[in-house]
Amino acid sequence: MAGKNPLQKCFLFIILSLNLMSLHAETGQKKTYVVHMDKSAMPSPYTNHLQWYSSKIDSVTDPKSHEEEGNRILYTYQTAFHGLAARLSKEEAEKLEKEPGVVAVIPETRYELHTTRSPKFLGLERQESERVWAERVTDHDVIVGVLDTGIWPESESFNDTGMSPVPSTWRGACETGRGFLRSNCNRKIVGAKVFYRGYEAATGKIDQELEYRSPRDKDGHGTHTAATVAGSPVRGANLLGFAYGTARGMAPKARVAAYKVCWVGGCFSSDILSAVDQAVADGVHVLSISLGGGISTYSRDSLAIATFGAMEMGVFVSCSAGNGGPDPISLTNVSPWITTVGASTMDRDFPATVKLGTTRVFKGVSLYKGRTVLSRAKQYPLVYLGRNASSPDPTSFCLDGALDQHNVAGKIVICDRGVTPRVQKGQVVKRAGGVGMILTNTATNGEELVADCHLLPAVAVGEKEGKVIKEYAMTSKRATASLEILGTRVGIKPSPVVAAFSSRGPNFLSLEILKPDLLAPGVNILAAWSGDMAPSSLSSDKRRVNFNILSGTSMSCPHVSGVAALIRSRHPDWSPAAVKSALMTTAYVHDNMLEPLTDAAGAEPSSPYDHGAGHIDPLKAMDPGLVYDIGPQEYFDFLCTQELSPSQLKVFTKHSNRSCRHSLAGNNPGNLNYPAISALFPENTHVKAMTLRRTVTNVGPHVSSYKVSLSPFKGATVTVQPKTLNFTTKHQKLSYTVTFRTKLRMKRPEFGGLLWKSSTHKVRSPVIITWLPPL
């Protein structure tokens, strides 16, 4: 079972080929490499690791280059893992990898950001979240490290009124720089640091006219995610009157440490790894990382290696799944010790309508509010410059410079979604003299609607409505339309719905590990914003706001980070795996109409490859009854099943004292004690039965009895032994087995659920059965 199947091997070959093509430097050209070192291999003459690392770099580089270029070492890493980041040519990197004590040399990777009402929608009313915190707030202070674009400290979301002094165990600090003073930190923002050496080595010096070389956030993304995690309550929060109400983070009593790793030109792995290393050393309890950089094998994924070290130190790590949906196999951040978060809608929307000259009305969304208002009583000429209503072409995307003023002046212009940012299309229309825009989804986005803070009256509509509107504009000689923006509505049904952009499984690195892990709100999320950036993020937009509405798995990730902080406040002794288990086994898979969760990309029921274990339920996650715990050694034994060589495994053995103990029965990665259960039948059709094992820990009532129930499967009979788990003490561990016997090899994976139910708790695990195609 440990061997990769042909599909996985092909997929990984493509990944590695692309990585090698895109990341390896040309001969002689210097670029940044992350070098993983075996700490225990340092020879005795050296008194510290920096001396040793420097000698290693000197041994493979020309001494003259040091005089010309200065120190090649950008960072050293010593907490989450051991090693350094250095500027090297391809030849030097290859030489270094052969040196004793060097475990791996990995090229720099560029990462991208995965870019209100959510506490109430999640059941975290003010009294509920404060009740959770009040129990142990005095002796267990939770600090969340947010790796992002920095923080805007003046936001009311970071007001520290009523907060207790910063815990003495906190080892972080506040770095100063342009626009950021030590006094910008307080009892809410307890740390703020910048990481730019890798970025500057790749792109040149930061232009301080364009951004702050300090923790201050010009972009807004980092402020938004930090406030979503732990923002203090702010009454009357809104975006230009939309989403008016009290904005608060998931864990309003938690503290935030901002680690600025992302800049105008992206986020670079050497900087990200230094931030993870520093955050763990500082003493964060939770790491929130709303960015991703494609997918690599575990031993070549520097973020996977660094977060493994963070997990060993007891830090819960939450990462965004990515915005590559609805395409399958579009996930990032798939390591089992990372909690991978997809995005869903909430029950709040910002409706708008398009009324055609035929009097037919179509529903859409918009966050436009400005001086230009289109009359409801008047119809405006309507134009679509594409050649086909069903398939977009270069003329239909409203690209910069593509619109002729003679064709669009005084008209409402239909623009297809894609290629360029949605709000930028409206700017192009406005500059060409258009009075309004209808933004139409294509097949990529289906019926999913994302509201934007447009620069002119604009309404976004789904693919089906868009086709009808475009057909009308192309076939009617005097096509007209009017637009109406309707404000904020709540109680939207159905919700939640899986966002079309949310990245999807399966996890081709390890099909036995279900990814994403779960869903959280990620569409139209209101949170704090930078005072230096317009709500549209366009330089021509001179508007400034205190709060903004954004969408992306970047927004769903901090929801989970904040709820994890709430769980840690109540259960400070829980491992990261126990926290993840609580989130997954209490997640729900039905919407507010009591129907199975659906997918915005097609309105069909979604599967665990889309929604993971389901949608987070914070209050239930505080008290899950049972947890599936996993320790660092078990995660390492999982890696031992992944066809990694001893030297590749060594990058995960920070203290070099971990070895493969083969604790997973049958060396089957499906036996990792994961809260989701995935049976992977190999290509060999003679294998007709498989047994997987799980162990649950009682964290509920000391004396309790759980009975199992299973959903039916067409392709296999599934049996669980024992069928009842009787606990007599708290923290007692009991094991069970799940046996799968093939009846009919299905061409597609089958999905279902396994439920342990007591008089007080329900503990649910998604179950996936996959039959690999015969050889």
Q: Which residues are catalytic?
A: 148, 221, 554
Neighbours of 518 (CB within 10 A): 31
Q: What is the spatial distance between Cα 439 and Cα 364, in angstroms, rounded to a whole number?
A: 9
- Size (the chain), residues: 775
Beta bridge partner(s), residue 353: 363, 484
49 and 55 Cβ atoms separated by less than 8 Å: no
Among 519, 541, 520, which Cα is nearest to 532's? Answer: 541
Tell me whether the omega of the peptide bond preceding residue 722 falls within 30 degrees of 0, making it cis.
yes
Contact 65, 73 (CB under 8 A): no
In angstroms, the CA 192 to CA 147 distance is 10
By DSSP bridging, strand 110-113 and strand 291-292 are: antiparallel
Cβ–Cβ under 8 Å, residues 703 and 694: no
Contacts of 599 (CB under 8 A, 6+ apart): 326, 497, 498, 500, 605, 606, 610
**Amino acid, single-letter form, for residue 596:** P
8 Å CB contact between 232 and 242: no
C-alpha distances in angstroms, 342 versus 53, 322, 502?
39, 7, 6
CA atoms within 13 A on the CB side of 266: 16
3 state SS of 770: strand
Per-position DSSP letters for 352-421, written without gaps between them: EEEEETTS-EEEEE----SS----TT--EEEEE--S-SSS--GGGS--TT---HHHHTTSEEEEESBSB-
